[in-house]
């Protein structure tokens, strides 16, 4: 087991989390992986790294399982696909596999903490104050409506062509709809779903069409988790 | 007249015996039996039920009267009007009987009037919304009610200590706490009555309304505890009694909820086995829910909570188990009962107020109570909201808080509870009663009247009703799963995690246990939405007249309207239809005949609007008129088949949108117009008769198309494009036109027998010569724009027919000179590109299915169908110069005569 409890199994709260990560990475230098935002290879870079992750994602990192006792980060800086797959309830989640996949965008087997937090940052609640104070020059925050939608969209769009084809819709429906519905019925549902959203008549749902079909829905609310605040 | 009305008021009331007897009551005891009577008056035997019925009748009539004026009801909530009506009636009673003895009896209220309202609200509670906000609801219901009760009671006591309450109000701290406990509870009946008309956003509504339902447990406990403390006397209350009081809060609330859930389980389980006795399904729902209420009441648990939980818990399974008709029956009965009970409650409240003996007025107490309940409600809401907002994802802003504070209406529950007080134990009962009446009246009338303008003024987010779409439903499920997964990954087991767990448990065990196997199969939410959307499409299709065929589904009303270039641009249309001609050629090659070009055009119409039905359609359709018994089932089959298949054709025609769309209309119009001509001929040129004839003709058209279509699907299996060649039996139309012309008195289409042989005779591949391919490729490019415009006219006129009652309109239109329709025509092409409600297509068989689904009202869609048809006929007759119509006439005759 790789995520065995370390010897210094103390609770990691917001104040101690960065120090914690530091000590971890010192122990497991070999597994340090260069993150998207910068290198973790030097010890000094680690604490700013965590801070910058927090700045970028807005995540209160200490609340994540990664840094909790027994979490993956206890001994390493990277989590493997296996770690996520080991989570019990994810296995029965119809979209579990796809969601795990979304943590590994490049098909890799490892994700570092920055990438991990970046994915989770999609689910931060939208703070009205954030919107007001945001620098217009900066890129949209990860928890914006568009990014939330994009996350959902790429769960459908398996081949990453920017479109949900009928086949992809059918696959999702097969996961979501119970086995009781026959294949024929599923297909007609998929057809109708695609046609409902499809506006340019290409038989597939583009991201724009996807957004439009959900424009009446309160995405900011439905794709947020309070504890990530 | 007043005397006659009097006994009516005696129902539900104690001591009704004092009512003056109607003068014409001869059945007095003591008189010698007069032998055989020709006429016997037995008022006494029917008195009680008769009074109840009359009472309800008066309430219902009052409702009708109120709603005669839209202006009044939009300004004044119904509850206010009813209370005022009650006041008037009470005044009449007082004036006539010289004493007021009618009031809302607590027993009647709690046992008969309250349960339907609570059941209705529990059963139709949006459960997802409710559980999403359960935390807030529970907080407001428990903490808020406790806070209100104690602060109000204590403050009133303080008021008395300060000497602001007259000394004749003999009440101690406990009495005031008792009064506070009964006056503090927000009343579900009042809240529902007022908030249903205000239409605030769902979250706000569910919080206020959920609170009013769930606070019953707290109210009951507080009331009982305080009441027993008062009866014991404050000196005898020991510490253990306080502990018991706290414990009873849990017992009463959790016990009530448990009773409700047990009965919900029983109810769901029972309805699983009612397959053969559908007729008792609605009865079961009401009986078991009522049993839950009575059981909880018997065990002195929270009955409101019990019946709420029962309704909330059973709905999913019951709805899946019972038949569609039972579902409607349950819904309507529940709404009827609830509305009835609500009406009576408010009316009786008004009457109860007119009782001078009850009025022990003390200004200090009344004003103090009014002030305190408003003040502490607001304060409590603000404090609780502040705490809740620390945890809530969607914060409740200041405006929400204002509405929540102001929406804390008191109602009949408080009144019934205060009536129940024992005058011996609570000497200040009369004062409390009077104060309660004032409070109830103030909240219902003043706050009820002002909350609507307030909501408008504050610009509170209103609830927006938008039709559900499959995409929304599917994506919502996706979001739920995503959130549950993310909570897993984060390692925090929050709300989404547990909801996901519950859903899995429900799917695995509960649904399996409580749902009929067949019901369980189709009880998937996404499938459910799909099914409902289809049904709605079908209904609106039938309503639109059932014959407005364009490319399938593109403009289904349930789908968001789209303005695709391909659809709106005429040039695009032309281009594409030109390119689509080769497709036609392929198909046409397989058809050996071409004698009747009309038939060929009909094919294109159908290939745009239809798809291949299954073979057994034919059987079911041909039996359609023979066996009336099997008809319904067959219609359902046809309907479901169509629903499944519709999208397939849609898909296949998707890339041929314009091509299929243009020609169908051409076809249809030509065909329809031909009908009109035929009918006109058959009716010896009497334009007044055309209505009926057209109706009949259209229906027959639909049926014969179906039959032919099934034929064609047999002959053309290789047709992947969903293009089906169907021959239109024109002779049949002519014949049927004549038949229907004879049937003016009885325009039911069912009388007219189908003529499948006639239709088969006309199949194009069975008859001779003619080159359809040439026709199609050349005609489409020229005719399309005109066709588009006629199609537009059709859809417009069918929309118009939708907007107004068809029965009245149909005859008037038949007499209309055709000129207005003719003048509309030139405008149509201009409107075309921005067509907001383009017509959509359905297989005609579907129209039939839909029609017979509502067999009882079968005439309505028929008459609606008739109108656009006539409009079109008028068009063609008026402007024979238009290429297509002219051509059609000629062609039709050529093929025919």
Per-residue pLDDT of B133-146, as tens digits, reads: 898 999 999 999 99
> In terms of Cα–Cα distance, which of B357, B348, B367, B351 is closest to B430?
B357
Secondary structure element (H or E) that encloses residue A80, with its range: strand A78-80
Residues of chain B with C-beta less than 8 angstroms from the C-beta of A123: 482-483, 486
Average pLDDT estimate for B411-416: 89
Share of chain B above pLDDT 90, in %: 13
Distances, alpha carbon A172 to alpha carbons A91, A179, B230, in Å: 16, 13, 63
pLDDT exceeds 80 at position B278 = yes
The residue count of chain A comes to 229
Identify the residue whose tokens are 């290198």: A39
Rg (CA), chain B: 34
State the nearest Cα–Cα gap between B321 and chain A, in angstroms: 16
- When CB atoms are compared, the residue of B483, B526, B655 closest to A173 is B526
pLDDT at A49: 62
User: Are A181 and B472 within 8 A, CB to CB?
Assistant: no
Instruction: Count contacts between A and B (CB, < 8 Å).
Output: 173
From B175, B197, B191, B163, select the one nearest B73 (Cα to Cα).
Answer: B197
At B721, is the secondary structure helix, strand, or coil? Answer: coil
> A17 with A11: CB under 8 angstroms?
no
Paired strand residues for A112: A78
- DSSP β-bridge partners for residue A205: A164
> What integer pLDDT is reported at residue B788 of this predicted model?
52
Q: Which residues contact B566 (CB under 8 A, 6 or more apart)?
A: A201, B572, B573, B576, B657, B658
Average pLDDT over residues B151-179: 86
Q: What letter would DSSP give residue A181?
A: S
Instruction: Kindly report the nearest CA distance between residue A150 and chain B, in angstroms.
Output: 12
**B645: which chain A residues are within 8 Å (Cβ-Cβ)?**
188
Tokens of B481: 């799963």
Q: Does B469 touch chain A (CB under 8 A)?
A: yes
Q: What is the pLDDT of residue A150?
A: 84
Most confident of A107-121, B642-656, B686-700, B824-838: A107-121
Alpha helices in B184-201 (DSSP H): 188-198
Q: Does B657 touch chain A (CB under 8 A)?
A: yes
- Residue B427 phi/psi, 5° resolution? -65, -25
Tell me the DSSP string of B554-622. TT-TTSPP---HHHH-HHHHHHHHHHTHHHHHHHHHH----S-HHHHHHHHHHHHH--PPPTHHHHHHH
Predicted local confidence at residue B265, as pLDDT? 94
- Percent of chain B exceeding pLDDT 70 equals 55
Minimum-distance CB partner of B492 among A63, A193, A199: A63
pTM: 0.63
CB-based contact A94 B497, cutoff 8 Å: no
Contact assessment for residue B510 and residue B314, using Cβ atoms and an 8 Å cutoff: no
List CB contacts (< 8 A) between B560 and chain A.
Answer: 196, 212-213
The answer to whether B3 and B21 are in contact (CB under 8 A) is: no
Contact B740, B747 (CB under 8 A): yes
| pLDDT surpassing 50 at residue B48 | yes
- Between residues B73 and B387, which one has the greater pLDDT? B387
Is residue B118 within 8 A of residue B382, CB to CB? The reply is no
N residues, chain B:
897
The residues facing A78 across adjacent strands are A112
* Residue with more model confidence, B630 or A5: B630
Distances in whole angstroms, Cα of residue B557 to Cα of each of B290, B534, B668 = 40, 10, 21
Q: Residue range B795-802: average pLDDT?
A: 52
Judged by CB atoms closer than 8 Å, whether chains meet at A95 and B504 is answered as no
**Torsions phi, psi of B125, nearest 5?**
-70, 130
Q: Which two tokens stand for residue B599?
A: 């038939």
Query: What angle do the packed helices B772-803 and B570-579 form, to 10 degrees?
Result: 140
Q: How far apart are CA B293 and CA B109, in angstroms?
A: 13
Helix axes B2-9, B78-97, angle to 10 degrees: 110
User: Whose CA is closest to B892, among B698, B718, B670?
Assistant: B670
Which of A96, A115, A124, A192 has the most B C-beta neighbours within 10 Å, making it the best mutation to test the interface with B? A192
Residue among B364, B360, B363, B359 at smallest CA distance from B156 = B364
- Nearest residue on chain A to B560, judged by CA atoms? A196
Nearest to A176 among B490, B501, B526 (CB): B526
CA dist., res. B362 & res. B375, Å (int): 20
From the candidates B129, B201, B472, B475, which should be mutated to test the interface with A, based on the most A CB atoms within 10 A?
B475
- Is residue B606 within 8 Å of B666, Cβ to Cβ? no
Q: What is residue B646's predicted lDDT score, i.e. its pLDDT?
A: 61
Would you state the structure tokens that stand for residue B278, as one six-digit string? 């559908």
Nearest to A195 among B475, B501, B647 (CB): B647
Instruction: Report, as an integer, the average pLDDT of B767-779.
Output: 39
Contact partners, residue B363, CB within 8 Å, separation at least 6: none
Mean of the pLDDT values across residues B62-81?
Answer: 85
Tell me if residue B652 falls in helix, strand or coil: helix
Contact call for B651 and A191, based on CB within 8 A? yes
The residue with greater pLDDT, B798 or A186, is: A186
Give pLDDT < 50 ranges for chain A: 1-48, 69, 73-75
Which structure tokens are listed for B726?
A: 């169907």
ipTM over 0.85: no
A160: alpha, beta or left? (left if phi > 0; alpha if psi -120 to 50) = left
What is the structure's pLDDT at A86?
73
* End-to-end C-alpha distance for chain A, whole angstroms: 31
B462 forms bridges with which residues in the sheet? B200
Which chain B residues are Cβ-neighbours of A90 within 8 angstroms? 485, 488-489
Q: How high is the pLDDT of residue B333?
A: 92
Residue B856 has pLDDT above 50, yes or no: no
Residue B619 contacts residue B712 (beta carbons within 8 Å): no
pLDDT at B258 over 90: yes
Phi, psi of B415 (to 5 degrees): -65, -45
Contacts of residue B731, defined as CB under 8 A and 6 or more positions apart, other chains included, come to B758, B761, B762, B896
**pLDDT band with cut points at 50, 70 and 90 for residue B845:** very low
d(CA B281, CA B272): 10
Helix B859-878 vs helix B772-803: angle between axes, to the nearest 10 degrees? Answer: 120
- Give the Cα separation of B780 and B714 in Å (integer): 27
Provide the token pair at B471.
């995409």
Q: Quick one: tokens of B735? A: 């014949």
Distance of alpha carbon B178 from alpha carbon B184, whole angstroms:
10
pLDDT band at residue B268, thresholds of 50, 70 and 90?
A: very high
Q: What is the pLDDT of residue B608?
A: 53
Q: Which residue in chain B is spatially nearest to A217 when comparing CA positions?
A: B472
Q: What is the pLDDT of residue B566?
A: 35
Give the pLDDT confidence of B14-31 residue by residue, as tens digits: 333 333 344 444 444 555
Kindly determine whether residue B478 and residue A217, on different chains, have CB atoms separated by under 8 Å.
Answer: no
Tokens representing residue B265 in the block: 């389980």
pLDDT of residue B200: 85
Distance from first CA to last CA of chain B, Å, rounded? Answer: 72
- CA angle at residue A133 from A129 to A136, to 5 degrees? 130
Closest residue to A192, CB basis, from B470, B494, B562? B470
Residues B6, B63: Cα–Cα separation, whole Å? 20
Considering only residues B207 and B704, tell me which one the structure prediction assigns the higher pLDDT.
Answer: B207
Residues in chain A within 8 Å Cβ distance of B611: none
Closest CA of chain B from A162, distance in Å: 17
How is residue B279 annotated by DSSP? G
Interchain contact, B489 vs A228, CB within 8 Å: no
Q: DSSP letter for B547, please.
A: -
* Contacts of B684 by beta carbon, 8 Å cutoff, 6+ apart: none
Residue with more model confidence, B344 or B854: B344
Of A176, A188, A200, which has the smallest distance from its Cβ to B647's Cβ? A188
Average pLDDT, chain B: 68
SS3 of residue B200 by DSSP = strand
Distance CA B713, CA A43 (A): 74
Q: What are phi and psi of B465, to 5 degrees?
A: -95, 115
Considering only B356-360, B419-423, B649-653, which range has the smallest mean pLDDT? B649-653
User: In the structure, what pLDDT confidence band is assigned to residue B381 with cuts at 50, 70 and 90?
Assistant: very high
Angle at the Cα of A106 from the Cα atoms of A102 and A109, rounded to 5 degrees: 80
Q: How far is A43 from chain B (nearest CA, A)?
A: 26
Contact B487 A225 (CB under 8 A): yes
What is the structure's pLDDT at B879?
Answer: 42
- Using a CB-CB cut-off of 8 Å, the residues of chain A touching B486 are 99, 120, 123, 225
Contacts of A88 in chain B (CB under 8 A): 488
Higher pLDDT pick, B870 / B796 = B796
Split at pLDDT 50, 70, 90, the class of B93 is: confident
Does B518 lie at the interface with A, CB-CB under 8 angstroms? no
Residue of B479, B269, B74, B378 whose CA lies nearest to A155: B479
């Amino acid at each position: 087991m790789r995520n065995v409890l370390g010897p210094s199994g103390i609770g990691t709260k917001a104040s101690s989390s960065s120090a914690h990560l530091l000590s971890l990475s010192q122990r497991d230098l070999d597994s340090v992986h260069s993150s998207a935002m910068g290198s973790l290879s030097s010890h000094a870079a680690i604490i700013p790294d965590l801070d910058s992750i927090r700045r970028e994602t807005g995540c209160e990192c200490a609340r994540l399982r990664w840094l909790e006792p027994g979490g993956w980060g206890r001994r390493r800086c990277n989590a493997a696909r296996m770690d996520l797959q080991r989570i019990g309830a994810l296995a029965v989640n119809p979209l579990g596999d796809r969601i795990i996949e979304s943590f590994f965008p490049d098909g890799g087997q490892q994700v570092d903490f920055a990438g991990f937090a970046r994915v989770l940052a999609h689910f931060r609640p939208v703070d009205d104050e954030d919107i007001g104070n945001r620098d217009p020059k900066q890129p949209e925050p990860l928890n914006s409506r568009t990014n939330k939608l994009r996350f959902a969209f790429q769960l459908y769009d398996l081949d990453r062509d920017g479109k949900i084809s009928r086949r992809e819709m059918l696959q999702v429906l097969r996961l979501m709809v119970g086995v009781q519905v026959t294949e024929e019925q599923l297909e007609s549902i998929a057809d109708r779903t695609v046609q409902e959203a499809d506006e340019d008549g290409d038989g597939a749902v583009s991201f724009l069409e996807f957004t439009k079909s959900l424009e009446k829905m309160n995405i900011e609310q439905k794709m947020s988790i309070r504890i990530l605040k | 007249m007043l005397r006659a009305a009097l006994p009516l008021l005696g129902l539900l009331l104690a001591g009704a015996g004092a009512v003056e007897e109607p003068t014409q009551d001869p059945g007095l005891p003591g008189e010698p039996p007069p032998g055989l009577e020709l006429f016997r008056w037995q008022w006494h035997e029917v008195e009680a039920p008769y009074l109840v019925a009359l009472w309800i009748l008066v309430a219902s009539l009052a409702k009708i009267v109120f709603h005669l004026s839209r202006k009044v009801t939009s300004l004044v909530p119904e509850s206010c009007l009813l209370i005022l009506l009650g006041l008037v009636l009470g005044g009449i009673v007082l004036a006539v009987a010289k004493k007021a003895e009618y009031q809302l009896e607590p027993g009647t209220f709690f046992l008969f009037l309250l349960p339907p309202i609570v059941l209705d609200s529990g059963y139709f509670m949006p459960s997802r919304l409710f559980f999403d906000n359960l935390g807030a609801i529970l907080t407001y219901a428990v903490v808020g009610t406790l806070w209100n009760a104690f602060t109000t009671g204590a403050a009133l006591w303080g008021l008395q200590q300060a000497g602001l309450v007259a000394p004749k109000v003999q009440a101690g701290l406990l009495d005031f706490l008792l009064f506070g406990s009964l006056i503090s509870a927000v009343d579900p009946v009042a809240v529902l009555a007022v908030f249903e008309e205000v239409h605030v956003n769902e979250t706000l509504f569910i919080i206020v309304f959920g609170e009013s339902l769930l606070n019953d447990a707290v109210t009951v406990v507080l009331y009982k505890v305080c009441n027993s403390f008062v009866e014991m006397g404050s000196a005898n209350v020991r510490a253990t009694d306080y502990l018991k009081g706290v414990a009873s809060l849990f017992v009463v609330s959790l016990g009530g909820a448990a009773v409700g859930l047990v009965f919900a389980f029983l109810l769901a389980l029972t309805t699983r086995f009612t397959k053969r006795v559908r007729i008792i399904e609605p009865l079961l729902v009401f009986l078991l829910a009522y049993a839950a209420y009575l059981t909880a009441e018997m065990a002195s648990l929270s009955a409101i909570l019990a019946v709420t939980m029962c309704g909330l818990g059973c709905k999913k399974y019951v709805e899946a188990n019972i038949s569609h008709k039972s579902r409607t029956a349950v819904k309507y009965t529940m709404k009827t009962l609830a509305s009835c009970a609500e009406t009576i409650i408010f009316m009786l409240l008004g009457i109860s107020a007119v009782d001078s003996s009850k009025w022990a007025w003390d200004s200090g107490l009344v004003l103090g109570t009014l002030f305190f309940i408003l003040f502490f409600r607001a304060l409590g809401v603000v404090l609780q909201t502040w705490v809740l907002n620390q945890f809530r994802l969607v914060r409740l802003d200041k405006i929400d808080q204002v509405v929540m504070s102001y929406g804390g209406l008191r109602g009949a529950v408080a009144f019934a509870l205060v009536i129940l007080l024992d005058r011996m134990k609570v000497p200040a009962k009369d004062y409390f009663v009077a104060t309660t009446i004032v409070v109830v009246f103030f909240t219902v009338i003043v706050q009820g009247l002002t909350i609507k303008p307030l909501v408008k003024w504050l610009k509170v987010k209103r609830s927006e009703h938008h039709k559900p779409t499959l995409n929304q439903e599917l994506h919502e499920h996706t979001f739920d799963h995503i959130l549950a997964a993310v909570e897993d990954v984060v390692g925090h087991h929050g709300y989404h995690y547990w909801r996901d767990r519950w859903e899995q448990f429900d799917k695995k065990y509960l649904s399996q246990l409580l749902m009929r196997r067949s019901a369980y199969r189709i009880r998937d939410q996404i499938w459910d939405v799909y099914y409902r959307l289809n049904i709605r499409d079908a209904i609106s299709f039938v309503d639109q007249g059932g014959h407005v065929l364009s490319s399938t589904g593109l403009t289904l009303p349930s789908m968001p309207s789209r303005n695709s270039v391909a659809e709106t641009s005429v040039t695009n249309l032309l281009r594409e239809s030109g390119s689509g001609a080769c497709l036609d050629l392929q198909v046409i090659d397989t058809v050996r005949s071409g004698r009747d070009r009309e038939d060929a055009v009909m094919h294109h119409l159908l290939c745009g609007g239809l798809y291949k039905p299954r073979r057994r359609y034919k059987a079911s359709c041909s039996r359609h008129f023979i066996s009336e018994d099997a008809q319904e089932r067959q219609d359902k089959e046809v309907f479901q088949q169509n629903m499944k298949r519709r999208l397939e054709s849609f898909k296949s025609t998707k890339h041929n949108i314009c091509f299929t769309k243009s020609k169908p209309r051409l076809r249809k119009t030509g065909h329809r117009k031909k009908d009109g001509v035929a009918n006109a001929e058959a009716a010896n040129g009497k334009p007044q008769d055309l209505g009926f004839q057209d109706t009949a003709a259209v229906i027959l058209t639909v049926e014969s198309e179906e039959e032919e279509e099934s034929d064609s699907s047999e002959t053309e299996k290789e047709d992947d494009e969903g293009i089906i060649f169907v021959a239109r039996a024109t002779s049949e139309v002519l014949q049927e036109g004549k038949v229907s012309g004879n049937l003016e008195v009885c325009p039911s289409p069912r009388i007219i027998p189908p003529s499948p042989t006639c239709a088969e005779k006309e199949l194009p591949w069975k008859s001779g010569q003619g080159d359809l391919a040439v026709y199609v490729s050349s005609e489409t490019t020229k005719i399309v724009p005109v066709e588009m415009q006629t199609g537009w006219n059709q859809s417009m006129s069918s929309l118009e027919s939708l907007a107004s009652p068809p029965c009245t309109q149909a005859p008037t239109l038949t007499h209309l000179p055709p000129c207005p329709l003719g003048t509309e025509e030139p405008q149509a092409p201009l409107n075309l590109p921005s067509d907001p409600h383009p017509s959509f297509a359905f297989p005609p068989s579907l129209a039939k299915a839909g029609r017979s689904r509502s067999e009882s009202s079968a005439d309505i869609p028929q008459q609606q169908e008739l109108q656009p048809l006539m409009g079109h006929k008028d068009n063609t007759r008026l402007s024979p110069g238009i290429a297509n119509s002219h051509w059609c006439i000629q062609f039709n005759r050529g093929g025919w005569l």
